[in-house]
Structure 1
Amino acid sequence: MIFPEECKYVGIATSQPLGEKVYFLSRWLIRETAEGPEVLAVRLADGNGLMREVKAGWVLATPDETVVWPEPVNFNDRSRLLRLARESGKRCTIFTSPDESRTFILDPEPGSLLTVHVYDIVPPRAHLVAVLEELEGVGLFGDLNITFEYHIRDIRDLEAEVYPCRAGGFDRTLDADRLEGTERVAGCLTARQFCAENYGEGIEIAEICPLTQVAEEPFIARCCRAEREGVGVWNKKFGGVVHWGASPHTVDQVLRDMLKEWREDEGSSRPR
């Protein structure tokens, strides 16, 4: 697969005002032909000028192997571009940014991005999932070469008698209703502690903490226990944990810290 790190390495060779000279950063060229665009790799002559002679060039994708994506895209959302390239049905997909820069993907490989598993629950809104999607959409993770696989548990499936809070739209909740002390409550360690302190040991807790659902690594998950925030091992899997209403900055920082440690040895030496 070829997916330029930045669009500054991709030149446009529609015209040749200086003959065979191209901009010194160019490693690939997109050239228009009568049949359509083709993509070339180039090797430039040494020198100090902004424009350099093309020492060698070869076609990577012919017009019949190439398609131009019809809409402008955010180049920094690399996982989306990779997905679109796979969907195009061609070996090579050329993309255009809102400012009309160009880049391309040749022979897209699904496994070229690291999959980060995301664990969250609904209702209410899966906050971690929403933040990650928003940050990914503006291209904040473009340098990380990752894609997300979401594991979102619907806690309504537990059919508990009581749920944690009114925000989820439930009829009976810990934050608003007095319990009898024998109910089945959807909750976590915090709910277990709350019920024990206020109602004794007769309440059954149906576990809902996203951390208890972790089954893949590397992962990032949401938890209401602030002391758990950071990077570590849960369920014998390596990943990061953010607090329930973590800010976008915190989510980004924990994700990056986790990936840095994971990529040092791919988690092979993590304590289990």
Structure 2
Amino acid sequence: MIFPPECKVVGHAFEKPVGDRVYFLSQYLVRRVEEGFELLKVTPDPDGIGMMRDILHEEVLATVGETILYSERVNQHDRAGMVRRALSTGKRCTIFGAMDEHMNFVLDPDLSLFQTVHVYDIRPPRANLSVTIEELEEAGLLGELNCTFSHHIRDISTINADVFPCRAGGFTRTLDMDRMTGGERVAGCLTGKQLYEECYGTNYSRIDICPLSQVTEEPFIARCCRKERGGIGEYNGYFGAVVHWGASPKTVLDAVYAMMAAWRERHG
């Protein structure tokens, strides 16, 4: 796959106002031809003078029959999203226009070259970590990482339990609002366990709903309400990041970047 990290190396050859010369930073050209577009790789003269340089070498990377101009403008910082869109066209080369009129392309799209990060969360209520990751990805704030995200969201409303954590999830009997009498099946995490046993003793059974307990793949990011578990490291043998229940988008963003830097340092 060829997918330039920056649009500044991609030029367009729709017209030739200064003849057969190209901008000195150009590595690729999108050239308009009668039937559509083709993609060229170019080598500007490194010893030339000025911004526009003679071309020492050019090569057609994708012909007009292999190339398509994507029908909508995209956020070019959402790199995984662009690869998905390129795959959807069925063409070897997809040219993208951006909101700011810059151009980029994806040639021979391949998502397997992106690192998969596993996201663990629960609902109801809102799966806040998962939704935040999706919003950050759509905004292009995670594009530099060249990652995709696989979301593992457990719906705790399907659990056969008598008591759930809180009314915020829409449950009718919860630890935060109802008095326990003993013998209940409680859907809860370590905090729920601690609360129940401090207030009512140990005559109950618990179904663990903590997202961190569901982790089975790495690298990962998970949400947990225990502050002492937050940070980056190994959890039950899997490497990843843990953020607090109410983590802000900035905190989530920083955690993903720090975790991926540590992951890549470990794996070269």
TM-score by length of 2: 0.98
Q: What does residue 192 of structure 2 align with? A: 191
Give the corresponding residue for 1:236: 237
Per-residue deviation, residues 80-129 of structure 1 (Å, max 9, x unmatched): 00111111100000111112211100001121110000000010000001
Instruction: Tell me the equivalent position of 1:5.
Output: 5
- What's the secondary structure of 1:39's corresponding residue? strand
Query: Does 1:100 pair with 2:101?
Result: yes
| Counterparts of 1:48 and 1:142, CA distance in 2 | 34
SS of the residue corresponding to residue 143 of structure 1 reads helix
Q: Which residue of 2 aligns with 1:20?
A: 20
Cα-Cα RMSD:
0.9
Partner of 1:111: 112
Separation in 1, partners of 2:98, 2:53: 26
Q: Deviations over 1:125-144 (max 9, x none)?
A: 00001111111111001111
Q: Within 1, Cα distance between the matches of 2:50 and 2:230?
A: 51
What is the CA–CA distance in structure 2 between the aligned matches of 1:265 and 1:186, rounded to whole Å?
36
Look up the equivalent residue of 1:112 and give its one-letter code.
L
- AA partner of residue 184 (structure 1): R
Letter in 1 for 2:148: T
Alignment partners' CA distance in 2, 1:48 and 1:112: 37
Give matches, 1:161-180, under 5 Å: 161-180=162-181
Please name the residue that 1:226 is paired with.
227
For residues 185 and 170 of structure 1, the distance between their equivalents in structure 2, rounded to whole angstroms, comes to 12
Q: Are 2:193 and 1:212 aligned?
A: no
After superposing the two structures, state which structure 1 stretch, 155-164 or 237-246, moved more: 155-164
2: CA distance between counterparts of 1:31 and 1:18? 15
| Separation (CA, whole Å) in 2 of partners of 1:252 and 1:35 | 43
In the TM superposition, 1:1-272 aligns within 5 A as: 1-46=1-46, 47-266=48-267
Instruction: Verify the 8 A CA contact 2:80 2:111 in the aligned structure 1.
Output: no
Q: What does the per-residue CA deviation read over 1:158-215, in whole Å, with 9 as the maximum and x for residues that have no partner?
A: 1211100111000001111111121111001110010000000001111000011000
**Counterpart AA for 1:181:** G
SS of the equivalent of 1:56 reads strand
Q: Percent identity?
A: 55
Q: Deviations over 1:30-59 (max 9, x none)?
A: 000011100000011023411111111010
TM-score (norm 1): 0.96
116-125 or 154-163, which moves further after superposition?
154-163
State the alpha-carbon separation in 1 of the partners of residues 77 and 217 from structure 2.
Answer: 26
Task: Quote the Cα distance in structure 2 between the aligned partners of 1:177 and 1:48.
Answer: 78
For residue 222 of structure 1, report the CA deviation from its aligned partner. 0.3
- Paired letter, 2:179: R
Aligned partners of 2:121 and 2:203: how far apart in 1? 28
Post-superposition, which runs of at least 4 consecutive aligned residues in structure 1 deviate over 4 A? none
For 2:233 and 2:182, locate their aligned partners in 1 and report how far apart those are by CA, in whole Å.
35
Distance 1:83 1:45 in 2: 35
- Structure 1 Cα separation of the partners of residues 266 and 86 of structure 2: 30
Give the unaligned 5+ runs of structure 2: none
| Runs (5+) with no aligned partner, structure 1 | 268-272
- TM-superposed CA distance for 1:156, in Å, is 1.3
Opposite residue 227 of structure 2, the aligned amino acid is: A
- Please tell me whether the aligned partners of residues 222 and 241 of structure 2 are also in contact (alpha carbons under 8 angstroms): yes
What amino acid sits opposite 1:31 in the alignment?
R
The CA deviation at 1:266 is 2.1
Aligned residues: 267
